[in-house]
Chains A and B, each alone.
Chain A
Amino acid sequence: MKSGRIYKNLNLTVFTLVIVFLYIPILILIIFSFNNSKIVAGWQGFTFKYYQLLFQNTQIKLAFQHTLLIALLSTFVSTVLGVLAALGLENKRFTGRKVMNALVYVPLIMPDILMGVSLALLFNFLRVETGMITVFIAHVTFCLSYTIIVVQSRLKGFDNSLIEAAMDLGAKPWLIFWKVKFPLIIPGIIAAALLAFTLSIDDFIITFFTSGRGFDTLPIYVEGAIRRGTITTINALSTLMIGFTLFLVVITKRVRKLLL
């Protein structure tokens, strides 16, 4: 079985390399956010000063608020709309099925840049000022496909005999929905919401095309800072955002365990 072992080792080697590849830049980022030096290389001593500068930076704070606001709003809207649509799509004989499927699945494989360009042009055509509203609209648009799919897949695994049992016991459709179906799809709804939230916070290119001057989200701000070269506090900001990501991952796992 010698050659079998060669392949196993090959797999393991590639795997380790990939893990290293995935984590090294991030770890460097975190470590150097504490580095007392403007130039990145070369350890000059531990410091919190970049974090302090971070918290004093009003632009970043504003961008953070914008990011959070958009994320919460667009998560809410896209999740609600998504749940409704997923429930509508449950019906196998729905005549609008093909149209809906096309609208839901096609955006998923389009490059983001096309969505950004098309929305920018739409808003220009309609003479709408780019800003918070347009960013909000854009975020809901790209999150909608994801929320619909997540809730749909959760609905697929739904045990319909529970509905039949409830009907058998005398409950009316409306009651059945709220007391039986809805509580059981809440985990799917939460998963969809978390996904939408993450996508919204993460987005750069679509926001880039639909925000104007004056409405920055964090990714927009960071990109600008990188371009301008004013990156001293970006390390610290990045570390905080990585921490936030880890926090989100832990929460998602916990929530999933709780509700399953």
Chain B
Amino acid sequence: MEEIRIENLTKSFDGFIAVNDVSLTIKSGELFSFLGPSGCGKTTLLRMIAGFEIPLSGKILLGKQDITQHPPYKRQVNTIFQNYSLFPHMTVYDNVAFALRIKKLPNTEIDSRVREMLQLVKMEDQSDKYPNTISGGQKQRVAIARALINRPQVLLLDEPLAALDLKLRQHMLIELMNIHDAVGITFIYVTHDQSEAMSISDRVAVMNHGSIIQSGPPDDIYERPASIFSAYFIGETNLVPCEVVSLEEDYVELKCDAGVGESFLIDSTFHFRPEIGQKLTLSLRPEKIAVSRTKPRTQDDINVVKGIIEDILYLGTHTQYIVKVGSLKFRVFSQHKRVYFDDKALDWEEPVWLFWHDTDSWLIDEDTPVGLEYSDVNVFERPFQMSRSVKRQHKSE
């Protein structure tokens, strides 16, 4: 099993730069995801790894082999296409056997390997059917079998779950993880759906405008976003524009301009050293904020602000509050646990206290963009966060 190294890969179409000088290394056996909005370049990157596009400059190395200029049929890389692209004029069996027939292997060997693959994806009794008679989920399994029979080093998955409905998507996601465990090869997954990427990946690369904004394990990306884009694109967050007031040994004091009133303290164990007067953005995840009508007994490592409840969304497992603090709107997720629950439920227009631990926020070295309305994203547009207990152990070499 080899690792994949991408070095300074650039690709443009008619002057539009789709992939901009991207470099990274994907470890062997990893389940690696490229995550980003449409047009961010992730699909182009995938196609270059597969061999359907030739980069303008840069290299792709599989182990020690430079495969940048190799056509797709010369690479030990196989792709699962977005619409599966099963051959409509061939049966399931013939689709899966295709690659082996090209290699002109003896029929007995082909037969045993095809059956083995079909068993892996649980389609062994459908082998005589034509693609137009099987369901979407079944098509996907055939596509996986067809690709894996080659025993490639890398499997590329181009938004494989996009065409499935929600329940099926959740089911197939787990199946993909099981197959990855069973087969053990490197999976490179491309999607715009962050819950997919975050829940199954060993590492995620967040992309925008052709560049990788941040890459790392999912919890790294979530808890320690390197840019406003990462913080904003993944999950929900509150972006608070601040200015550094003073630097102390074990904390930094920030002042927020938007009429918030208080100043914040942040635990100084973070990744860069700001300067006094520097304008930064504080990312505060909604689930880290507690809300109550009684002011907490002040502790040194808690930040407190006062606000008024503007909106309440009851979501079963938790309630989402939009709280107006100064000229900002904070989004707060309040799980229905005894510890935070007041005797009487909070009401609209009620004045409340928001508080969070000073290690629970994250400082981003960017100025907050003007006009970024973070309460305008409808909570129902984003898929619910999948339980992060499904997080996989990163396979270290």
Contacts and interface: CB of A to CB of B under 8 A. Distances in A.
Assess A/B contact in the complex (Cβ within 8 A).
yes
B35 interface: no
B54 interface: yes
Interface in A1-22: 1, 3-4
B71 interface: yes
Contacts of A3: 71
Nearest to A4: B71
A7 B390 CA distance: 48
Taking residues whose C-beta sits less than 8 angstroms from the other chain, chain A's interface range is under 10
Nearest to A3: B71
Nearest to A2: B71
Contacts of B71: 1, 3-4
Interface in B190-247: none
Nearest to B72: A1
A3 B69 CA distance: 13
A255 B69 CA distance: 49
A4 B54 CA distance: 13
Contacts of A4: 71
Q: Is the interface of B mostly helix, strand, loop or mixed?
A: loop
A3 B72 CA distance: 12
Interface string B54-82: 10000000000000010100000000000
B11 to A, nearest CB: 14
A176 to B, nearest CB: 37
Interface in A32-58: none
A3 B73 CA distance: 12
B234 to A, nearest CB: 36
Interface string A79-100: 0000000000000000000000
A4 B69 CA distance: 13
Interface string B336-373: 00000000000000000000000000000000000000
Contacts of B54: 1
A3 B54 CA distance: 15
A92 to B, nearest CB: 24
B72 to A, nearest CB: 9
A93 to B, nearest CB: 28
A4 B73 CA distance: 12
A249 to B, nearest CB: 32
A260 to B, nearest CB: 29
Interface string A189-224: 000000000000000000000000000000000000
Contacts of A1: 54, 69, 71
Interface string B27-70: 00000000000000000000000000010000000000000010
A6 to B, nearest CB: 12
Contacts of B69: 1
A3 B70 CA distance: 11
A1 B52 CA distance: 9
B60 to A, nearest CB: 14
A1 B67 CA distance: 12
Nearest to B53: A1
A1 B55 CA distance: 13
A3 B71 CA distance: 9
A4 to B, nearest CB: 7
B341 to A, nearest CB: 54
Nearest to B69: A1
Interface string B165-192: 0000000000000000000000000000
Interface in A220-254: none
Nearest to B74: A1
Nearest to B54: A1
A93 B305 CA distance: 75
Interface string A52-71: 00000000000000000000
5 contacts: A1-B54, A1-B69, A1-B71, A3-B71, A4-B71
Interface of B: 54, 69, 71
Interface of A: 1, 3-4
List the 5 shortest-distance A-B pairs measured between CB atoms, nearest first. A1-B71, A1-B54, A4-B71, A3-B71, A1-B69
